[in-house]
Each structure stands twice: as C-alpha cells, then as structure tokens.
Structure 1
Amino acid sequence: MAGSTQIPYLLRAARGEVLDRPPVWMMRQAGRYMKAYRDLRDKYPSFRDRSEIAEIAIEISLQPWKAFQPDGVILFSDILTPLPAIGIPFDIIESKGPIIDPPIRSQEQIDQIHPLEVEKLPFIREILQALRQEVGNEAAVLGFVGAPWTLAAYAIEGKSSKNYSIIKGMAFSEPAMLHQFLGKIADSIAAYVCYQIDNGAQVVQMFDSWAGQLSPQDYETFALPYQQQVVRQVKATHPDTPLILYISGSAGVLERMAQSGVDIVSVDWTVDMAEARQRLGSQMKVQGNMDPGALFGSKDFIRDRILDNIRKAGNQGHIFNLGHGVLPGTPEDNVRFFFETAKQADKLLAVHA
C-alpha cells in the first residue's frame, strides 16, 4: 500500500477545507482515448468481461492512475452493472451500447423485480478493495451508481434513447406503475452504494444522466424523490461518505439537484462555474466543469480554461473535473497536460493574477 497516513486530497475538498488547489480527476478517465485501454479492449472485446472480470477491471481502473496520478481513482464499471442482481438482464454491444431485452413495460415485470442480491456482484468488492490497496491515501477511491430515473429509462426504453418517449409515456399515463418501479430501484441502488462503501469506496458518484431530459416539474416528481430516497438510506448507515450527483444538461434543474441531499453537485459545462456557485449557495460543494471538447484545443487554450474554471470556483469545496466524460479521440498528451496544469494551479494563478 502507498505508505502515507494523510487524508486523500479529494476527501479534504469534500469536507470543505480551504485548499491551495482543487483536487482533480476526470469522468471516464479510464477508457477509449487511452491506447493502453484500446489494446486491452482488442484482447477482451466484451465490455462486460472488461468490467466484471475483476483483474481486468482493476487494470483498467488503474491505467489513468499510473499515467497521470489523478486525485481520484474511479471503479471501472457501468451504471447497468447491478441490474442482473435485481432480476433485469442486459448486454452491451460495442457499437450500439446497452440493450435490455425484453424491456420493462408491464406491472407483471415490475412485480418480479427483487431486492439487490449483492452476492451476484463479487467482482465489485474485489475491484474496490484492490484499488484501495493500490493507491493507499495518495488518491481517493470513487465508486459510482446510476440513479433511479436513469436506470428506469434504460430498462423501459430497452436501450439508449434520444427522446425518452416510452418512459415519459409511462410517466404521464401510468404514473403509479412507474413510481413503484422507481421505488424498487431506489432501494436497490441505496444497497449498492452501501456495498461499494463497505468494500472501499471513499466517495460515491450517482449519475442521473438522463434526468436533464425532464422538465423541472417532472424532475421534482420522477427524479428528485428517488435521488432523495437513495441518499437518505445511504446516510442512515454511512453518514460520513461524501455523495456526488451528476446530471447531463442540468442547467435548468441545478438548484433542485442540491435538494437531493448529496454533498457535492457535479456541474456540466453548460453553466458558468461562478454562476453555478452563486445559484447553489456557498454551502454546497461543487465538481466540474470544463468542456471536454476544450481538450482538443492548444495547450495555451487548455491552460487558460483550467485557470478560469478554478478561479471562478474558489478555493473551498471544489473538485476540478470535466463537465462530462473525456471524449474518445482526445489526445492523451492533452489529458496529461490537463492533470499537470490543474496540480500547479496555485502557482499558475499567482503568475496570471
């Protein structure tokens, strides 16, 4: 184990300490933009093999750690990973993404969904324990889960969707059935978060990726109460583990995200960071939010964007990240530069003041 007794830097930010620079990691930092990952993908073409065979998932999770030393190392997995453990099988097709067949469309199917059987997810325990062992206190180990609305959207649509017409149809014509489904998923996701924490996750990020597709009033009806249900259940037994909520396209529901009970709101890049902090209030900690597309720019451009973001966020309660996952095709050298620059932000800001 990395021999150091200090508190991981990312956890210090999550506790609200005033820091010289923000901790930095990247959503999807393990993945297709890295040559090491693509080489491994050629060897193991099935995504589920890569994410569910512990030794492969451990290796993938650690690729960015070895290359860039981020302040957070996140479990390589998928938000759909726990679904088979509640009775919903899925597959991931390389070019098409996740497929759930048959999709969940009837009361009878919802009745058959059972509480999470964590014994069906032993690889999650193995991966998280190995990551903690490997990084010690040099970085925080992050777990992650999908939020109820987003998991329900996948399960009901049967695949990724552009307009979410099937789940919205159910929401607006058979709401009682959908609420029952969301409640069952929320209970299982809460159990899954606790399982990750018990096995080494020091922070857990909940992705409600598709909740940004809801109007504010529907967000309050179909997404927020179930985020709150997950957070409430986790905090009952693990009150000190910081929870992060991320939504893609969240500008319209930013203040409502803060009502979920999470400790940190992860902001996408469509909101100016200074405005996000103002809207969320000084007590709410934030993560984000540089446009991943900025990493296709020149190094001067990348540096200026990083410093602008960090300056706007201030020196307390900020974890620096992208506003979404790093994009395939992003030059690895620019990712390296992103981490190096963020880690020297205090010195660079003094020069560029």
Structure 2
Amino acid sequence: MTGTTQIPYLLRAARNEELERPPVWMMRQAGRYMQVYRDLREKYPSFRERSENAEIAIEISLQPWKAFQPDGVIMFSDILTPLPGIGIPFDIVESKGPMIQPPIRSQEQIDQLHPLEPDESLPFIKKILTALREEVGNQAAVLGFVGAPWTLAAYAIEGKSSKNYAIIKSMAFSEPKMLHQFLGKLAEAIATYVCYQIDCGAQIVQMFDSWAGQLCPQDYEIFALPYQLQVVKKVKETHPDTPLILYISGSAGVLERMGRSGVDFVSVDWTVDMAEARERLGKDMKVQGNIDPGVLFGSKEFIRERIIDTIRKAGSRGHILNLGHGVLPGTPEENVAFFFETAKQADKLLAFSA
C-alpha cells in the first residue's frame, strides 16, 4: 500500500482531510448488547477480571471489530482503572456500578496519594494495546481512553455513581482548596496514563468527563476546564501529534468551553443539533457524534435517515460519526450492524438523497 491508504481512516479525519464519508465507531461498542460478550461474562463474572486480564480484554475489544469492522477499535477497560495505582481502591458491582470504599473525604487521604507508575500498576494495558495494534494493523485506529479529573474525583468522593453530586459539590463550595489539590493530583496521574497508553500503541485517546455536565458553566470553568487543560498540556508536550477527544454527557451548556480544553475533537452528545454544534464550536474544531443511542431501537429506514442527517450537518471534514453516548444494553445487534454498514456507504446515500 502507498499514500493515504496506509493511514487509518479515522486518523485521516483527525488530519482534517476532506473525506467521502466520516470514519465511524461507537462508544461502548464492546459490551452487553452483544451475545458473545454476555456469553463471556457468564464465564468471567468479575468486571475487573474482564478488563484487567489482558487476554480477556483483548478478546472483548475485538468482538465488535470482528463483527462490524468499525474504523476505530477501543480497548475494553474502565475510567477508574488507574485509581488503585495512586492509592484509591475500587470495585465494580454488576448491578450497582463502581464502588469506592472508603470514599475520599479528607485532607489526610489526599496527602497519602502517590504518583502513578503505569508499568507497575497497569502492566495489562501494554499487552492489550500492543495486541490490538497487531490485530487491526492499519485497517482501523486503536483508541485508548481515560476519565477526566472532575469525573474521577466525583466517583472517588461520592464513593459511587450519584444523581445529584451533592458530596463533591459540597466539598467544591465549602473546601475548594482541598478539592483543587485532589483534582491537580488526578490530572497529573491521568496525563501520565494517557502518555502511557500512547506509548503502548493507542493512536487516539478519548477523555471522558462524563459528569462535568452536572456543573454550571461558572463552576465548569473553575473545577473541570483547568484540569482538562492540565492533562492536555502535559500530553501534548511529549505527544503533540496524537489526537485527543473530549466527551461530556449533557454538555449543551458548556459546549464552547469544551472547545477551549486544547483537545482536537469535541464529542457532541445528542442534546445539541450537529449543525448548531459546528457553529458554536467554530470552523477549526473537529467534532465527533452525535446520534441518540435510542435511534438504534428504531427501524432501519429511521436509522438511515438519522445517519444521513448527522453527516450532512457535520460536513466532509473533521467529523467522526459516533453516538451521542454509549450503545445501550438491549440494543439489537442487527441494528448496530446496519448502522456500521450504512455509515460506510454514506457517500452513496448522500449523493442519492441530495
């Protein structure tokens, strides 16, 4: 192969090339909606075993690759994975989600945290990413991912998922100095982790600040944005050419601020029209998204219409087609397959429907 055919299609979008169709992958494209994953879960019921045993994680990461041939293959992991490496143990309970005991509530706990040494605490990551690169070659881009400081702090301080984030917000507004110290330590660890993933084979890394949409714009600028910037700045110092994506759930109120984080792509959720997102972010910001995951429960005609609409609004440069969040449990596998098939024929469909 010669020329651009050697470059994974997703990375061509990152280079802002004009493309006939956008590259396509899905958040949570490996997971519960796939029968092969559910079968494997029966054999390995512990989530941490599935995500931290390299051989199992590699197999799960490749399940959607073998089934659908997406343009991006993301490693199967969790945003909390690096926390034990800095001194915060966690567990994931199947019906309850992440659990952190004891939660981080005191200055003493924050003082006891230590820098991340990925080779020591996360050796399985290197095996996973190396194997994925070998498996997919240049046919797809291998993605890594991390949690952002605010979101990891929210899990660590709340001790679990939350509906109102009252405990971390209480700390933010009554003991901000302590929270800022914690966020700074998390940002250092996350930046180290991103660089490690890139060194191990990740060609693009997505940062999930899933719960930053729970902040009002004023507090986003105080408690989320500076630490996103800290991560991005440190990564770009040593890996300036690796594209970074930022995703926030419920981001309509902070969309423009996301664009100030220094990332290469803003991943847009489905609460914003893609054409409006493009306008709000400006012509220089590349975008990812943003089809409502619920669309995949619709008819094939409906799915096709939404794909065409999103691609047309996003334009032919700097767009990765994705959902506005992860694939929902119970999503019909045949509809996921149809989504990928349709996305890959988008150039023909757009011409036909023009």
TM-score strictly above 0.5: yes
Instruction: State the shift of 1:344 in Å.
Output: 0.2
Q: Which residue of 2 aligns with 1:221?
A: 222
Q: Counterparts in 2 of 1:103-142, with a 5 A limit?
A: 103-118=103-118, 119-142=120-143
Q: CA deviation at 1:117?
A: 1.7
- Report the 3-state secondary structure (helix = DSSP H, G, I; strand = E; otherwise coil) of the residue aligned with 1:209: coil
Residue 148 of structure 2 corresponds to 147
Residues 1:26 and 2:26 are matched in the alignment: yes
Separation (CA, whole Å) in 2 of partners of 1:20 and 1:351:
14
Secondary structure of the residue that 1:259 maps to in structure 2?
helix
Q: Which amino acid aligns with 1:121?
A: L
Structure 2 partner of 1:193: 194
Q: Aligned-pair distance for 1:15?
A: 1.0
Instruction: Give the letter aligned to residue 257 of structure 1.
Output: M
Tell me the distance in 1 between the aligned counterparts of 2:83 and 2:126: 16
Deviations 1:17-55 (A, max 9, x none): 000000000000000000000000000000000000000
State the partner residue of 2:90: 90
Structure 2 letter corresponding to 1:9: Y
Q: Whole-Å Cα distance in 1 between the matches of residues 154 and 122 of structure 2?
A: 22
Q: CA deviation at 1:5?
A: 6.3
Structure 2 residue aligned with 1:175: 176
Q: Aligned residue for 1:42?
A: 42
Q: Which amino acid aligns with 1:275?
A: E
Could you list the per-position Cα deviations for residues 95-142 of structure 1 after superposition, in whole angstroms to 9, with x for gaps in the alignment?
000000000000000000000021110000000000000000000000
Note the residue ranges of structure 1 that are not aligned, 5 or more in a row. Answer: none
| Residue 249 of structure 2 is aligned to residue 240 of structure 1 | no
Query: Could you tell me which residue of structure 2 aligns to residue 346 of structure 1?
Result: 347
Q: Which amino acid aligns with 2:270?
A: W
- Determine the C-alpha separation between the residues in 1 that align with 2:54 and 2:32: 19
Which residue is 1:285 aligned to?
286
Aligned to 2:310: 309
% identity of equivalent residues = 84
| Cα distance in structure 2, aligned partners of 1:174 and 1:47 | 34
CA RMSD of aligned residues (A): 0.7
What does residue 73 of structure 1 align with?
A: 73
Distance 2:259 2:284 in 1: 10
Following the alignment from structure 2 to structure 1, what is the Cα–Cα distance between the partners of residues 5 and 45? 39
> Which AA in structure 2 matches 1:268?
D
Rounded Cα–Cα distance in structure 2 between residues aligned with 1:226 and 1:139: 30
Aligned length: 350
Give the TM-score normalised by structure 1: 0.99
| Offset, 1:221 | 0.1
Q: Name the amino acid aligned to 1:106.
A: S
> What is aligned with 1:328?
329
Residue 231 (structure 1) aligns with = 232
Name the CA distance, whole Å, in 2 between partners of 1:156 and 1:194.
25
Give, in whole Å, the separation in 2 of the partners of 1:87 and 1:161. 22
SS at match of 2:180: helix
SS state of the match for residue 6, structure 2?
Answer: coil
**In 2: Cα distance, 1:76 partner to 1:130 partner:** 12
Equivalents in 1 of 2:6, 2:314: separation in Å? Answer: 25
* TM-score computed with the length of structure 2 as normaliser: 0.98
Q: Provide runs of 4+ in structure 1 moved above 3 Å.
A: none
The AA in structure 1 aligned to 2:293 is: P
Alignment of 1:208 onto 2:199:
no
- Tell me, which stretches of 5 or more residues in structure 2 are unaligned? none
Structure 1 residues 241 and 291: alpha-carbon distance in aligned structure 2, compared to 1, 3 A threshold: same
User: Aligned to 1:103, what secondary structure does the other structure show?
Assistant: coil
- Write out aligned runs for 1:253-268 (5 A): 253-268=254-269
- Give distance in 1, aligned partners of 2:55 and 2:253: 40
**How far apart, in 2, do the equivalents of 1:132 and 1:308 lie?**
32
Alignment partners' CA distance in 2, 1:188 and 1:80: 12
Distance of 2:117 and 2:157 partners within structure 1: 21
Cα distance in 2, alignment partners of residues 52 and 252 from structure 1: 35
Matched, 1:101 2:94: no
